[in-house]
Amino acid sequence: MITNVPRLTSADWDSWYTASWPTLYTAGWPSLVTDKEAEYFHRAVRPRPGMTAADLACGNGQWTRQLAAWGVKVTGYDFSAEAVRQAAVAGLQDGLSYTQWNINAETIPAALLPGSLDLVTCRHALPFLEYARALTDVGRWLKPSGTFYALVRVAADQDNDDADDGAAAQNDSDQEPFHRGFTEAQIDSLGIGWTHRTTYRLSAHNCGIVLRGYGDTATTPRHTAGETSRLPAPPPTPPAIEETRAR
C-alpha cells in the first residue's frame, strides 16, 4: 500500500532553499559531501578529467562542484530556481554549469543526447523522482562504458508494497517530506536492467549505488534483484562493498 505523501513542487523546494540561505548553505546544507563519500565514489567510479556528466536534482551544487573539482565536465539539473541560483552563486567555471529542469514533467534538455555521457549522478534525490523512468533515460544517455551513481537515504520498511513500481518513493512520513529515502527492497530493485551493480554503506542511513551496463544483454544477462556477491575489502577499513552481478 502506498502511503499518501504529496509530491513536493519546485515552489516547496524554493522555500526550503531560501530558508537555508546563507547560514545552512555555507554549513553544507542540504548534505555535505564527506571525505568518505568522495573516497568511495573515487574508488568505485574513478572520475577523470575530461569525463562528461550530468548531476540530476543537483540542488545547490554541493556534489556538482565536487565532480568539477575532479575535472569532470558537468551540468547540474534541478527544478528549483532558488537551488540553481545558489549553485551559480557558489561559482561557475569552464565545464561546470546548471540548468533548471523538472525531470519528472518537462521535455529532456537537448544536451542530454543518447550515448553522450560518461557519468550520471543523483544524490539524495532519486526518491523524489519517477525513478524507474529516470533510470531508463539515464541508461540511454550513458555511453556503453558509462556509470550511474546515486546516494540514497535508507528508510525503514513501511507499508510500501506497491512502491517498487518506479513512481516517486512514498515511504517517509509527512513530518519529513524533504528527507525521503528508499527501503532496502527499493534499493535492490534499482539494479534491474543493469548488468553490474555495486552498493556500499557510507553510514547507517546512507547507501551508495553504482550501476553500469544498462540493457547490455548481448554480453551479460541483466541483473535480477537479490543476486549478490562480495568484493574483497579495500584498505584501510571501509564499509562493506556489495557487488551484484548478473547471472
Return residues touching ligand SAM (CB under 6 A).
Answer: 13, 30-31, 57-59, 62-63, 78-80, 83, 102-104, 123-125, 128-129
Residues 6 or more apart whose CB falls under 8 angstroms from that of 118 comprise 51, 52, 53, 72, 142, 143, 145, 146, 147
- The CB-of-232 to ligand SAM minimum distance in angstroms stands at 29
- The CB-of-141 to ligand SAM minimum distance in angstroms stands at 15
How far is CA 188 from each of CA 81, 151, 191, rounded to the nearest angstrom?
A: 32, 13, 6
Q: Which three cell numbers stand for residue 47?
A: 572520475
Smaller CB separation from ligand SAM, 16 or 214: 16
Smaller CB separation from ligand SAM, 47 or 59: 59
Give the chain's end-to-end CA distance (angstroms, integer).
31
- The CB-of-122 to ligand SAM minimum distance in angstroms stands at 7
Q: Which residue do the cell numbers 549478490 mark?
A: 228
Residue nearest to ligand SAM (CB): 59
Smaller CB separation from ligand SAM, 134 or 246: 134
| CA–CA dist 223, 217 (Å, integer) | 10
- The CB-of-113 to ligand SAM minimum distance in angstroms stands at 19
Smaller CB separation from ligand SAM, 20 or 198: 20
